[in-house]
Structure 1
Amino acid sequence: MARVRLDLPAQFPFRTELQVRVVDINYGNHLGNHALLGMVHEARVRYLAAHGQSELDCCGAALIMADAVVVYRSEAFLGETLVFEVATTDLGRHGCDFVYRVSARDDGREVARAKTGIVFFDYAARRVRPVPDAFPALFAVCA
């Protein structure tokens, strides 16, 4: 079976920590995929907030998620603190990718890599819009 490969940028300008809660655990007694995507969302919201932005107003436009990729590297368990590193890459005309490296704080093992493709969106007009001019410099988009 072909595996998905997700290359990471050399630098991540933002990091935050989240603890694995009991509601994040699945029947395998480890972090569930549904919970990891929720945690990635939280990390993205914190990254935006650190720059004075939000998903509904990021440099004057809203964000909408177009796709997501997750590559698991190891399990994570109840009570563990995970470090989420976040970067923006692959800037296009209407959006970019937010890329995440997730590691266990205590032993540094890589838990997952993720990418969420976002596009800028005008909810009033219900259509995609161009990347705001201020976005690339504010978020130091990697090539």
Structure 2
Amino acid sequence: MDGYPFVLPYQVRISDINYGGHVANSAVLDFFQEARIAFLRQLGGFTELAIGDGCGLILPEAQLFYRAEMFHGDLLEIGVRLRESQRSAVVLEYRIERQGTLTAEGSTVLVAFDYGARKPRRLPAAFVERIRCLQAAAEEGSPFP
């Protein structure tokens, strides 16, 4: 998937289907989360609850654009890439394709969050370093580090 250094294969399950017989919008957000979890793990063994220095990530904003129907059994590819990183947040973009055809796309804002103190905080240095490596590799057209 061009421009997306990380791609997760996914097969649509029956639980992803709504009353209209196609993938529900809410399921697409679940697809984004599945890909994000795998992306974070590949990025450096991170999880949504542990990105270093005692903090995790919290998702205050998500955008979803449903471009084409998806059906039970469809084999999808879910691409993840970094759009930007800020002092305490990262923005990830997602693209879902079925056999090269765009079916959905969107983005999420992820804020560093100290779950113990219940407040946002700065992104940990090790996480920022891995994100910077990813940005540099993407700009050079290199594969996911």
Fold-level match, TM-score > 0.5?
A: yes
Quick one: distance in 2 between partners of 1:89 and 1:95?
A: 11
Q: Which residue is equivalent to 2:113?
A: 121
1:11 aligns with 2:3: yes
How far does residue 118 in structure 1 lie from its aligned partner after superposition? 0.6
How far does residue 79 in structure 1 lie from its aligned partner after superposition? 0.2
Question: Once superposed, which parts of structure 1, at least 4 consecutive aligned residues long, lie more than 3 Å away?
Answer: none
SS at the partner of 1:68?
strand
SS at the partner of 1:11?
coil
1:108 aligns with 2:100: yes
Higher helix share: 2
Q: Which residue is equivalent to 1:83?
A: 77
8 Å contact from structure 2 (residues 25, 66) kept in 1: no
SS at the partner of 1:114?
strand
How far does residue 136 in structure 1 lie from its aligned partner after superposition? 3.1
- Counting aligned pairs with the same residue, the percent is 36
Q: Which residue is equivalent to 2:142?
A: none
1:68 aligns with 2:30: no
1:53 aligns with 2:53: no
In structure 2, runs of 5+ residues without a counterpart are: 140-145
TM-score by length of 1: 0.85
SS at the partner of 2:8?
strand
Over aligned residues, Cα RMSD in angstroms? 1.7
* Residue deviations 1:23-51 (CA, integer Å, cap 9, x gap): 11111111101111111111100111112
In structure 1, runs of 5+ residues without a counterpart are: 1-9
SS at the partner of 1:118?
strand
